[in-house]
Chains A and B, each alone.
Chain A
Amino acid sequence: MGAVVSGLTRGAWRVVVVDDGSADDTAEAARGAGATVLRHILNLGQGAALQTGIDFAVAEGAERIVTFDADGQHDPADIPALLAALDAGADVALGSRFLGAMEGVSRPRALLLRIAVAVSNTISGVHFSDAHCGLRALRASVAPALRITQERMAHASELLRNIRTQRLRVVEVPITVRYTAYSRSKGQGVLQGLRILFDYFLRRSGRPPRERPC
């Protein structure tokens, strides 16, 4: 955790870590490495954690927001390319490990990822080479349009659907993903994949959350 955050602070970006109700010293390690830590008092899932971080960044007046997985699978060296894509006029820049490179990935996992991409493309109606990559950049101005309501992992497909319905300008940027024993243990298997699909359809058919004026 500390190593991931230090890798980012070296780039002089402001780093926000969302601690999704973990019981270990994640928050301390991240804070020690120079990140702002937001702590969920309950475990709410990755989608909710992403949205909390984005809300905070927008409230702090950020112009561009990069989402970055904390398990060490992403490389901070890929961030400038994502930001450059925003500067070139994109609203959202999605990292793609299939355009880029994957290190340390097993064959079954690569196949599973391909299937996940195909399923995601089919149900979200947009076609990308990689659907569930955690490394992305977005303009703060489009953050409200991308609002995520899926708490668990189905948020990635939800994000893509929002991109399509809001007609945002998207580009894919090749990135490198490094699978380590740790990131693999945090990754998603077939069963989780099915659960994500289940979540996606159930939530989608459910009533949209009511907007409450404050």
Chain B
Amino acid sequence: MLIRLLLLGALGLIGYQVFLRRRRLPVHIVLVLGMLLLAGLAVLFPDMTTVVANRLGVGRGADLVNYLVEVGLLFIVIHYYAKFVELQEQITVLAREIALLRERQERLGAAARGTGAGSNAPSS
């Protein structure tokens, strides 16, 4: 069937991408490749998912796959939200540091020129 070919091709491509980007711990890679293998098996033998689903108390294999995908996507969204917040905090720290450094630089520059910018002179 054409759909199987398409799905297997996509899974293979994902696996190749993951393999190319193998900078992380091998554990991550093994985990991802393992999941891809399971997905590949589900594509080749769809009835297998129904067997597993029945064991877990779900009627159809397709439903089980659906649930897993939903939970997985939510997990990914939360993961990236946390990353996003962390990044925002880091940007804040950087911009603050630049603001403080520039102020000091301007003050030192004014002092060096001897223009005596009275209001900006250090108070202590």
Q: Which A residues form the contact surface with B (CB < 8 A)?
A: 14, 18, 34-42, 44, 48, 51-52, 55-56, 59-61, 149, 151, 202-203, 206-207, 209
Contact = CB atoms under 8 A, between A and B. Distances in A.
| Chain B contact surface mostly | helix
Interface residues of B, number: 20
Interface centre among B82, B89, B102 (most CB of A within 10 A): B89
A38 B103 contact: yes
Given A36-B120, A39-B102, A61-B124, A51 B95 contact: no
A65 B85 CA distance: 28
Given A42-B95, A52-B100, A151 B123 contact: no
B52 interface: no
B100 A207 contact: no
B35 interface: no
A48 B91 CA distance: 11
B120 A44 contact: no
A62 to B, nearest CB: 9
Given A14-B123, A34-B119, A61-B124, A206 B85 contact: yes
User: Which 4 pairs across A and B sit closest by C-beta, in order of nearness?
Assistant: A38-B99, A34-B119, A52-B96, A48-B92
Given A48-B95, A202-B81, 6 more contacts: A35-B119, A38-B103, A48-B92, A52-B96, A206-B81, A209-B86
B54 interface: no
A41 B122 CA distance: 24
B98 interface: yes
Interface of B: 81-82, 85-86, 88-89, 91-92, 95-96, 98-100, 102-103, 119-120, 122-124
A18 B82 contact: no
Contact of B98 (A18, A41, A59, A60): A41
A39 B81 CA distance: 28
A61 B123 CA distance: 9
Contacts of A60: 122-124
Given A34-B119, A203-B85, A206-B85, A40 B96 contact: yes
Given A41-B99, A52-B99, A52-B100, A206 B123 contact: no
A18 B85 contact: no
Contacts of B123: 14, 60
Nearest to B122: A60
Contacts of A59: 100
A117 B93 CA distance: 29
17 contacts: A35-B119, A39-B102, A39-B103, A41-B95, A41-B99, A42-B91, A42-B95, A44-B95, A48-B92, A52-B96, A52-B100, A55-B100, A60-B123, A151-B92, A203-B85, A206-B81, A206-B82
